Every structure is written in C-alpha cells, then in structure tokens.
Amino acid sequence: MKQAHPRAFKTLLSGVVLILILLVTYAGLAFWPASPWTDAEKVLIRSLWLETLPPLPEDPSNAVADSPLAVDMGHALFFDKRLSVNGAFSCASCHRPELNFTDGLDKARALGHSRRNTPSIAGLAYSPWLYWDGRRDSLWAQALSPLEDPEEMGNNRLNIARLIMEDPDYREQYAGLFGEVPDFSNRNRFPDNAGPGSTETWDQAWRLMNEDDRRQVNRVFANVGKAIASYERLIVPGVSRFDEYASAVLNNDADADNLLTATEKKGLRLFIDKGRCMECHNGPLFTNNEFHNTGIISYPGDLPDRGRVDGLRQVRKDPFNCLGAYSDAAQGQCPELVYAREGIELIGAFKTPSLRNLAKTAPYMHKGQIATLTDTIRHYNDSPLAMIGHNEAEDPLGLLPFERKQVEAFLLTLQAPINVAPDLLEPPK
C-alpha cells in the first residue's frame, strides 16, 4: 500500500485544524454570552421601547377622531358586511383581528384580487400615510377606498349613504355625531346606485346627479370613513417580551437577563448595529413611516410596481385628502401633504411596515413576495439590485447564517396581543 507523502499529510492536517478552528470560532460567536449593554446601546433600546410611544396624535382632518360615539359607530361599520355590494365582505374580512388585522395572503382577496398585500392597521394612527404607496393621508380616507374598489367591496357611495339613512342605529349615531342624515329616498334625485368610477352605469348615474346632491352623498360617505377611523385609531400593539426586557434593562432590574435568551439578545444587538435595521425600522413601532426602495422582486406576472411616485400623485388628487372639501382640517394643518417628499428616488419605493407581531403577518412585502421571515432577512442581507429604480441598501450586510437566525429570534420577541378591549376585537353584539 502506497504511503501518503509527508508534505501532503501535513497539508491535510493543517486543513483539518483550520476547519476545527473555524468551527470552534463559529460556535463561540453563536453561543458566547451577550456582553453588557453600553450607554449608547441603551439609548437605542429606549427609542424602541413601547413605553416611549407618545399619546395618539390628533387628526385635524377628522373632528370625531376621538369621540366614543364615533368609536361605537365605527366598530359596527368595521364588521358590517352590508358595506360590500354583495353583503359578503366587511373591513374585518381582510383585516382579521386574530392575524394582527391582516389576512395571511400574498394579495387581499374579496370580490376579486387586490393589487397588493393587506397591511396591518395596528398603530397606523401614528402614520401620516396609508397603504404601501401612501396614496391616502388619513385613516378615514383610506377606509373609504376599499368600499368602492371593484376588487374589494365593490359598492358605491350613494348605496352606502342610503344604508346610514335607512338603518335606525346608524341614523341615530350619525345624527349624534354629524347632524341629521339627508333624505336620499327620492329616486329621481338619488338613483338606486351611483358613484364615480365604480361601474360605467353607476358612474353615469353619478354624473347626471345635481352637484349639490353629490356633495350631500360625499359628506355622508366621508363621515362613514371618519367613524371607521375613530375605531381603527384604538388598534395599537401591546407590550411584548422585548418591551419587558427593555424596561428591565433601562431600570437596572437584576432579572433582566432572564427575560430574553442569549440568542435573542444577540439578535437585538445586531438589529441596532451591524444589521443596520434601525435605518428604517426605528421608534417604538419599528417604522419611520417613510418610503424606501429595497430591491424587492416583482410579483410573478406583474410589471415592476412604481410605488410611492404613483401613490403621491393619487393622494394629491384624492377629494378626501387633508386639504379637500370634506376634511375638517384648518389652513396650515396639513403639512405632511403640502411638504411631501418627492423625487426619482421614490420610484419603486414602499412604506416601511412595523415589525411588531411579524409572526402573524406573513407573507411579507407589498405583494407578499417573500413567504417567510427567514427569507426576508436573507433578502436584506443580500441586497439585490432593484428591478425598477435604485435599491437604497446598496451594500450586502454580510451577516453570517447564525447571525441571521439571531436577528430572527429577536424579531419574534415583538409578538404581543393588541392593546385594546377584547370586545372591540369582535363584532358588536
């Protein structure tokens, strides 16, 4: 039998030793106890702590935003399937409370297939922009859009206004909030169905209506959205394991180390440092509510989505925006819309979603293109070229596989029940 050459044997042995050293190093990095937090790191942890979330911001465009009566009416409307043209769908059909007010689908499905993924409404009262592209600038303006969308609830605004007039409970609630509901019973003035752009027949009926009559319908329609928004404003995230840990760390609680595992704490350190996650996912809701192109691949069969550049055009044209005739805002109270950021860097840009309760909101991205949290983290680690526009995250993060698992473990500590009275998560009795 031929013996191995001594030099070849030494080379092989050196290779084995090197592999063993790398494995030991890898294992040490993965399992070595987390270091104590520095003062600078504690500042960042505090900024993510839910305790630092300010009170609900005012919505000057919605005079009943914080009215308990509006909450009651909005709660009923949110779960009312009569708002859809066929009586089969409500707001809660896509924004399901048990799924953190999402639907678990890549794209929303009701009467048809929506263009994009259903975002959670939890914490959206803090956002100046709604939808992935920011095409609405208030919760109440957003609430109106699915009601008329032929792929979602497919109704028309006159039919919805008449529902408020004809339902005794809604009529009473409406009167207490906005004054008496106009009488829409005269079919010569107010046809069975009418609304702009919904169907050709409804659109023609709408255009034939008197302008003052259209304004009356629009006012009731807008107020329906304002009532729904007053309910949705209350949907905010609750305290998670991360928040309990942050509280303990910041208060020098001796039990802090027992609240998160070593893996989760390392994931937090990567999140605030090497992972650069806080460049977009900052603040107690883990979002800057801004728009970014991060190189997400197009949905199969869809053209690349232009995102915010189109959304900005739409919100400026929306008759129910903050500057519109149906807004309650006074002059100077709509700075977000007036000074909205624009430019070519917004091509293919989408709104930064909150990272709270990620385990219940898969699939991810604006069209549900990424199925799992593991794959989402891998996407940001790789930082691929954008199919349209320019990926802002130009440089790959270089996180090792075990580091990506640590980040994922940390993100799962953000799970928590919605912080709202349980009866508001069910249809009103």
Distance CA(337)–CA(318), nearest Å, equals: 11
Distance CA(409)–CA(415), nearest Å, equals: 11
Q: What's the longest Cα–Cα distance across the chain?
A: 105
Bridge partner list, 350: 292
Q: Which of 311, 305, 330 is nearest to 142 (CA)?
A: 311
Half-sphere exposure of 150 (CA within 13 A, CB side): 8
Question: Could you tell me which residues come within 8 angstroms of residue 18 by beta carbon, excluding any fewer than 6 positions away?
Answer: none
The pTM assigned to this predicted structure is: 0.91
Q: Identify the CATH class of 36-53+237-307+347-414.
A: mainly alpha
In single-letter form, the type of residue at position 368 comes to: G
Backbone angles phi, psi at 263, to 5 degrees: -65, -45
Per-residue pLDDT of the chain (429 residues; tens, 9 = 90+): 455 555 554 555 555 444 444 444 444 455 566 689 999 999 999 999 999 999 999 999 999 999 999 999 999 999 999 999 999 999 999 999 999 999 999 999 999 999 999 999 999 999 999 999 999 999 999 999 999 999 999 999 999 999 999 999 999 999 999 999 999 999 999 999 999 988 999 999 999 999 999 999 999 999 999 999 999 999 999 999 999 999 999 999 989 999 999 999 999 999 999 999 999 999 999 999 999 999 999 999 999 999 999 999 999 999 999 999 999 999 999 999 999 999 999 999 999 999 999 998 999 999 999 999 999 999 999 999 889 999 998 889 999 999 999 999 999 999 999 999 999 999 998
In single-letter form, the type of residue at position 200 comes to: E
Distance CA(415)–CA(403), nearest Å, equals: 20
Question: Distance of alpha carbon 349 from its chain centroid, rounded?
Answer: 14
Helix (H, G, I), strand (E, B) or coil at 159: helix
DSSP 291: E
Backbone angles phi, psi at 228, to 5 degrees: -60, -40
Q: What is the pLDDT of residue 25?
A: 41
DSSP codes joined into one string, 355-407? -TTGGGS-SBSTT--B-SHHHHHHHHHH-PPPSSS--S--S-----HHHHHHH
Token duo for residue 41: 């790191």
In single-letter form, the type of residue at position 401 comes to: P
Q: What is the pLDDT of residue 393?
A: 83
Q: Do domains 36-53+237-307+347-414 and 68-235 have the same CATH topology?
A: yes
Total Cβ atoms within 10 A of residue 138: 32
Helix (H, G, I), strand (E, B) or coil at 24: helix
Question: For tokens 């509006």, what's the residue?
Answer: 70
Residue length, the chain? 429
Helix (H, G, I), strand (E, B) or coil at 102: strand
Question: Could you tell me which residues come within 8 angstroms of residue 310 by beta carbon, excluding any fewer than 6 positions away?
Answer: 133, 135
Q: Which of 269, 253, 250 is nearest to 261 (CA)?
A: 269
Backbone angles phi, psi at 130, to 5 degrees: -120, 155
DSSP codes joined into one string, 126-181? G-S-BSTT--BSSHHHHHHHHHH-TTTT---HHHHHHHHHHSHHHHHHHHHHHSPP
Distance CA(335)–CA(204), nearest Å, equals: 35
Bridge partner list, 130: 136
Fold of 68-235: Cytochrome Bc1 Complex; Chain D, domain 2 (1.10.760)
Q: Where are the domains of the chain?
A: 36-53+237-307+347-414, 68-235
Question: Could you tell me which residues come within 8 angstroms of residue 23 by beta carbon, excluding any fewer than 6 positions away?
Answer: none
Distance CA(324)–CA(319), nearest Å, equals: 5
Is 148:156 a contact under the CB 8 Å cutoff?
A: yes
Question: Distance of alpha carbon 286 from its chain centroid, rounded?
Answer: 11
